Structure 1
């Protein structure tokens, strides 16, 4: 029997799901300011695609393939500051799906080289326009040639937050259900905060969900958004946040060094910012269990690491 190309890609995309997610929930044992406050982090680089963005990238691709929107040579197109682009590229290479990414030109050297190595076609946008300008460029390319591209639109695609609702939250619940008191993470596309918070609130409305933001528009936390000045993602639901907290870039960098020395973890600046937010919260509460995300490790941030150590 001859298996069609369409059947092959559907089979491949479903099989790949076994390698997405299922990341460890790691307790930080030497860094919490109080013994009565436990802090856990999902080590999200430990999956196919190398970051937390593998989850939404895979779900967006899977649903597009199953719906017939992607395949038969159509190019996946999106804007990204880096990690989602790498996830798209890794998954795309595995499935034979070509990828074009609109990328701000100030993305790290490592990310650019990884994308090129994975065969991605890169359209650079101004470093001053951030991912907002990259999104505009992606939309322009799609509107000019809609038959050529599938516009993934990670900032407005419901399958972004649904990936975290269906997987990340359930992995957290399976480990700390009944003891979890607080969930805290940064806002970028807002998919992880929206999806996880929504599901956690359904399981236990008493869980406090805290959204982290940089403390200003000019910051060094790649992938994060200052919602007061940036284009707000279409999938963002601010009503899910019980509280908002700001994180200073310098404080995040200092926390990056602390995580290395105290926990043996070399994490990314955004992961360190999440940890800083969790530590700030731990100082305020008497007891509890805090869960956050470590979106990726330090491998793609040599410029930052060299400046800190």
Structure 2
């Protein structure tokens, strides 16, 4: 008999309809809002797809082999996903992350056997990325570089986009995603636009001064190289407080326990639903809420 491995459980996540949060106005406009539950992936986020894609394709090219040390700067989810895939496929994993990110993320990475290097919160992800590059130059390991690696967005072109198209039976009109590495929005946009150029692609970004784990407004020098602005029809800003409120509402009213960037994308999807008619709006629920418990967003 042939059995599944943990790798085989990545992808094909559920697409579920919001029933209680959408306003009466949105319902009267005949709009449907759907969340794609990427927290159902085995390491708990949408980044499982990109992690598997980047490692397997690097192996196929001969760039890495089991036993090598991999290095990555991460705000959390990619690091957890890479740590899982690395341990499955026989790699050592070194992860660099700002010290102010949640304890649950660090513990999850450590559980998969990764070595964690905390960087000053004042330097943000930019400092972590710079340090990772220095470590690679010094011969301490190989960077997969989620920010510049085309296999990040390719994972979503090959899996996430087709799943959304399949599960909406081609009726999707709007796609909303938080923008971090931009891999998800780049890959899904490319696929959906090939099916129907009219699908509107919307990126959620934090308002000025807001810090929302998983989404960023990058300085020009650090803009991910995989990002192509022509693939995003519009960007919408969301505040940290609005994203946190929506995270609590999703848990309390819909039973969807998700992270802050996912809730930010949901807030944008709801905003769009007030402006359109006869729309099927899909947003990415990129991870689970249990890795944010120590932040105080979900008070007991």
Instruction: Verify the 8 A CA contact 2:178 2:214 in the aligned structure 1.
Output: no
SS at match of 1:274: helix
Alignment of 1:4-15 (within 5 A): none
Q: Rate the CA distance shift 1:210–1:306 in 2: closer, same or farther, 3 A.
A: closer
Query: Which residue number corresponds to residue 87 of structure 2?
Result: 93
Residue among 262, 280, 289 paired with 1:289: 280
2: CA distance, partners of 1:63 / 1:212: 29
1: CA distance, partners of 2:189 / 2:283: 11
**TM-score normalised over the length of structure 1:** 0.91
**TM-score normalised over the length of structure 2:** 0.93
2: CA distance, partners of 1:247 / 1:87: 26
What displacement does 1:72 show? 3.8
Q: Rate the CA distance shift 1:126–1:68 in 2: closer, same or farther, 3 A.
A: same
Q: Deviations over 1:109-144 (max 9, x none)?
A: 111112222211112211111111111011000011
1: CA distance, partners of 2:190 / 2:86: 29
2: CA distance, partners of 1:268 / 1:112: 16
Residue among 29, 32, 41 paired with 2:22: 32
Alignment of 1:61-76 (within 5 A): 61-76=55-70
Q: Does 1:135 align with 2:129?
A: yes
Query: Which residue number corresponds to residue 183 of structure 1?
Result: 175
Query: Which residue number corresponds to residue 7 of structure 1?
Result: none
1: CA distance, partners of 2:255 / 2:247: 11
Residue among 196, 209, 221 paired with 2:201: 209
1: CA distance, partners of 2:78 / 2:54: 11
What displacement does 1:230 show? 7.2
What displacement does 1:48 show? 2.0
What displacement does 1:237 show? 0.7
Instruction: Verify the 8 A CA contact 1:186 1:274 in the aligned structure 2.
Output: yes
Residue among 11, 14, 20 paired with 1:21: 11
Query: Which residue number corresponds to residue 301 of structure 1?
Result: 292
What displacement does 1:59 show? 0.3
Instruction: Verify the 8 A CA contact 2:265 2:283 in the aligned structure 1.
Output: yes
SS at match of 2:101: coil
Instruction: Verify the 8 A CA contact 2:102 2:292 in the aligned structure 1.
Output: yes
Alignment of 1:148-163 (within 5 A): 148-163=140-155
Query: Which residue number corresponds to residue 78 of structure 2?
Result: 84
CA RMSD, 1 decimal: 1.7
Instruction: Verify the 8 A CA contact 2:244 2:297 in the aligned structure 1.
Output: no
Runs of 4+ aligned residues of structure 1 deviating over 4 Å after TM superposition are 14-17, 305-309
Query: Which residue number corresponds to residue 47 of structure 2?
Result: 53
Instruction: Verify the 8 A CA contact 1:30 1:262 in the aligned structure 2.
Output: yes
Query: Which residue number corresponds to residue 111 of structure 1?
Result: 105
Q: Deviations over 1:231-267 (max 9, x none)?
A: 2101001111111110111111111121122211111
Query: Which residue number corresponds to residue 239 of structure 2?
Result: 248
SS at match of 1:284: coil
